[in-house]
Structure 1
Amino acid sequence: MGRIAEELVEFHRLFGDCFRRKEQRLLGQSYLGGLLSDVPRKNVEAIALAFLGPRAVRCQQNFLSRYLWDEERMLERHQGLLAEAVGEEDGMHTVDSTEIPKKGKESVGVARQYCGNLGKRENCQSGVFVGYTSRKGYGLVDRRLYVPKIWFEEQYAERRRKCGIPSELQFQTKIEIALELLEKQMQRGLLAGRWIGSDSFFGSDAAFRDTIARWGKLYLAEIRSNIQVWPLAGEQQGSGEEALAVSEIARSEWTAWQQVVLAEGSKGPLVAEVSIQRVRESREGQPGQELWLIIRRLEGGKLKYYLSNAPQDMEAEELKRALLMRWPIEQCFEDGKKYLGMDHYENRSWNGWHRHMLYVFLAMLFLLRLRLKFKKKLQL
């Protein structure tokens, strides 16, 4: 464990120029160590008590919420290091949101809204995240707290001030936030990738998909089961009938399924039933562009549906690989909450939320670098 601790100190020093004072760097190092530790509840107070002592609790709190240090530089440095570790020209940027249940009304952006963790409307915070996946590995690269529209009403003015929400911030939908974060990645250009993947909340929005296509990127967009298309093969080709919901296509007798090995896992091959076919998109009942429709049947019979603007001559193997690259962002959420205290924070401020998530990113990157380092040694 001593060697791992030394590795952690050296890793955090890579971000040393993001801080104004040595004390800030030490507070950041203790927070990162706390997220990676076996402290049961990884909130600021518990981490400070475990690593620095009771006198440091207030300083550790201020490190996240008040102290001035360059988190944007840290984020860009993190993205560059992730690119060095796993960047590939045919990688995938992914976008998804995750919610964290919260009690009370004082935490920044908290509101009664749909909570994916609980599968119902609940008092929670919701964040939009961008991830990156390649054959070499994956990680989270950016984040933005979704602030519900009600928070921009006059009755919330004092609450916005207390939480430190930037005065210039205006309401944005999750889709607008996602596109802004993705465009930032495209402009920064640190992480190469030809693909952009999304879950059904984002992927079902035609304007979202159109924007990605205008950027010259390929998308693999999960969609809702009621999205309508016209099949371009089989009995429905050229029939002139109304467009079909993708769920109807999945149930149709003429839809061909194939059992494929998506990847070789530690417990054996990852096998799935997949249908891949060309369709024409329906836009408000009118024919749109030709796309790939990919349907995946999960264990238990549950179906997932995807649209892709990949060219018609793209090999099926590449589409299957894209399917695999879509899920790691969800694995990041699961691992972050299970092991790294992603949902343990108790800081109520705008800065606190974003800085906490940034340090969760760093914790994931540290573990990724360790895995790649030891894997390389074992291969020698």
Structure 2
Amino acid sequence: MAGLIAPLERKYGWSLAERAGEDCPDGMQRLLNSADWDADTVRDDVRDFVVETIGDSNAVLIGDDTGFLKKGIRSAGVQRQYTGTAGRTENCQIGTFLAYASTKGRALIDRELYLPASWTDDRARCRAAGIEDDVPFATKIEHFRAMLQRALDAKVPFAWVTADEAYGQVKTLRFWLEERRVAHVPATKVNDTVITTGGADARVDQLIAALPRQAWKRLGAGPGAHGQRIYDWARVPIRIYRENGFGHWVLARRSVSDPTEIAHYVCYGPADTRLTDLARIAGARWQVEECFQTAKNECGLDHYQVRRYQAWYRHITLSMAALACLTAIRAHELAKGAPDPTAAA
């Protein structure tokens, strides 16, 4: 872990071993491949540490996936598939992650490796990569839901869940969250439909298009690389359940420079939720991208040279632990009133 946060150009077996004063990478490789430790238990420790250092009852849980470009066909889960990391179809692995974001900082607290059906339908290939026969095919949505359930079971303090449209457009996920009274602001596709108060289906873009001009408010959606992210925002109430104090809205984010560029969200939360609150939660989704960027650039998240299923989880978990460490240091310095150590990055 010290090596993962060290200023090394590449953080793989040889470079980490050399920094630790070892003559060969055997020790580092053994740690990831055959040493006796449980990556899921360490994952839980990382999550608990994140909650201890930046936990907040108003925090946001964010789901997203990221790609790890690979060569060859032997690494667990690798195949040609679309990844937003490259913006195209590439030979890669896909990891699904859960991020935790509060006013004190942000970090990754859970992870799953996506195994395409081409892998789970070929058990011999799975065994060669260390994937047990009882590991089933699971979609990224199922991974997201499982990670959220682990956070709920662990009583992680948070107020909202958000994700991009790949997750938000899935009605079964939204219903699953609503069943558990988990407030959420996921993005969705332009032609998604929702059930209105009268029980009829309506397209989200048509509901937003019917709004008067004065319904739009210019609001910040959180800081970005070039300052505050400013957009025009509007919402349409769909259903408000006064008996349990929750409601549904369709939310829209419109570009200031190009009014034809509109993103849509399906929201569920306390009935007294304000437009500014929904805009803030929708804007929080970008923090998972910042987690990926920091984890890859500073903590070696994508520097691994392992092929086996268990080794992937071990490396990723230790990189998440390194990111949590940096997050805690930053939060501690900011609490003392010191300048943001990441501001120049």
TM-score over 0.5 for the alignment? yes
Ranges of 4+ aligned residues in structure 1 off by more than 6 Å: 264-267
Identity of aligned residues (%): 28
SS in 2 for 1:277: strand
Contact 1:137 1:368 in 2 (8 A): yes
Asked whether 1:374 is paired with 2:333, we answer yes
Asked whether 1:200 is paired with 2:158, we answer no
Match of 1:304 in 2: 263
Task: Report the residue type matching 1:172 in the other structure.
Answer: A
Contact 2:247 2:270 in 1 (8 A): no
Match of 2:243 in 1: none
Q: Per-residue deviation at 1:251? A: 5.0
Alpha-carbon separation, structure 2, partners of 1:58 and 1:364: 24
Task: Report the residue type matching 1:48 in the other structure.
Answer: A
Q: Which moved more, 1:320-329 or 1:129-138?
A: 320-329
Asked whether 1:34 is paired with 2:3, we answer yes
User: Pick from 100, 105, 109: which aligns with 1:137?
Assistant: 105
Contact 2:252 2:263 in 1 (8 A): yes
Q: Which moved more, 1:100-109 or 1:116-125?
A: 116-125
Task: Report the residue type matching 1:246 in the other structure.
Answer: V
Alpha-carbon separation, structure 2, partners of 1:35 and 1:260: 38
String of CA shifts for 1:204-249, please: whole Å, max 9, x gaps.
00000100111121111111112134778xxxxx8x9x85543445
Alpha-carbon separation, structure 2, partners of 1:215 and 1:188: 15
Q: Per-residue deviation at 1:202? A: 1.1
Alpha-carbon separation, structure 1, partners of 2:28 and 2:227: 44
SS in 2 for 1:147: coil
Asked whether 1:219 is paired with 2:219, we answer no
Alpha-carbon separation, structure 1, partners of 2:80 and 2:211: 43
Contact 2:222 2:229 in 1 (8 A): yes
Matches within 5 A, 1:48-197: 48-55=17-24, 57-153=25-121, 156-189=122-155, 191-197=156-162
Q: Which moved more, 1:222-231 or 1:180-189?
A: 222-231
Task: Report the residue type matching 2:251 in the other structure.
Answer: I
Q: Which moved more, 1:158-167 or 1:138-147?
A: 158-167
Match of 1:3 in 2: none
Alpha-carbon separation, structure 2, partners of 1:250 and 1:310: 19
Larger-Rg structure: 1
Alpha-carbon separation, structure 1, partners of 2:225 and 2:56: 23
Q: Per-residue deviation at 1:349? A: 0.9
- CA 1:50–1:150 in 2, change beyond 3 Å: closer, same or farther? same
String of CA shifts for 1:8-40, please: whole Å, max 9, x gaps.
xxxxxxxxxxxxxxxxxxxxxxxx122212211
Q: Per-residue deviation at 1:51? A: 2.6
Matches within 5 A, 1:353-364: 353-364=312-323
SS in 1 for 2:47: helix
Task: Report the residue type matching 1:69 in the other structure.
Answer: W
String of CA shifts for 1:134-165, please: whole Å, max 9, x gaps.
22221110101011111122xx3333122111
Task: Report the residue type matching 1:294 in the other structure.
Answer: L
Match of 1:324 in 2: 283
SS in 1 for 2:184: strand
Match of 2:341 in 1: none
Alpha-carbon separation, structure 2, partners of 1:254 and 1:228: 20
Contact 2:69 2:92 in 1 (8 A): yes
Q: Which moved more, 1:354-363 or 1:159-168?
A: 159-168
Contact 2:232 2:256 in 1 (8 A): no
String of CA shifts for 1:69-116, please: whole Å, max 9, x gaps.
132332222111111111112222221111112111010001122211
Alpha-carbon separation, structure 2, partners of 1:67 and 1:143: 20
Match of 2:233 in 1: 274
Asked whether 1:348 is paired with 2:313, we answer no
The two structures have a TM-score, normalised by structure 1, of: 0.79
Alpha-carbon separation, structure 2, partners of 1:364 and 1:268: 23
Q: Which moved more, 1:258-267 or 1:114-123?
A: 258-267
Give RMSD over aligned pairs: 2.7
Q: Count residues in correspondence.
A: 331
Contact 1:134 1:325 in 2 (8 A): no
Alpha-carbon separation, structure 2, partners of 1:58 and 1:264: 43
Task: Report the residue type matching 1:315 in the other structure.
Answer: R
Q: Which runs of no fewer than 5 residues in structure 2 stay unpaired? A: 240-245, 339-345
Q: Per-residue deviation at 1:130? A: 0.9
Alpha-carbon separation, structure 1, partners of 2:330 and 2:247: 41
- CA 1:138–1:69 in 2, change beyond 3 Å: closer, same or farther? same
- CA 1:105–1:87 in 2, change beyond 3 Å: closer, same or farther? same
Alpha-carbon separation, structure 2, partners of 1:69 and 1:321: 39
The two structures have a TM-score, normalised by structure 2, of: 0.87
More helix per residue: 1 or 2?
1
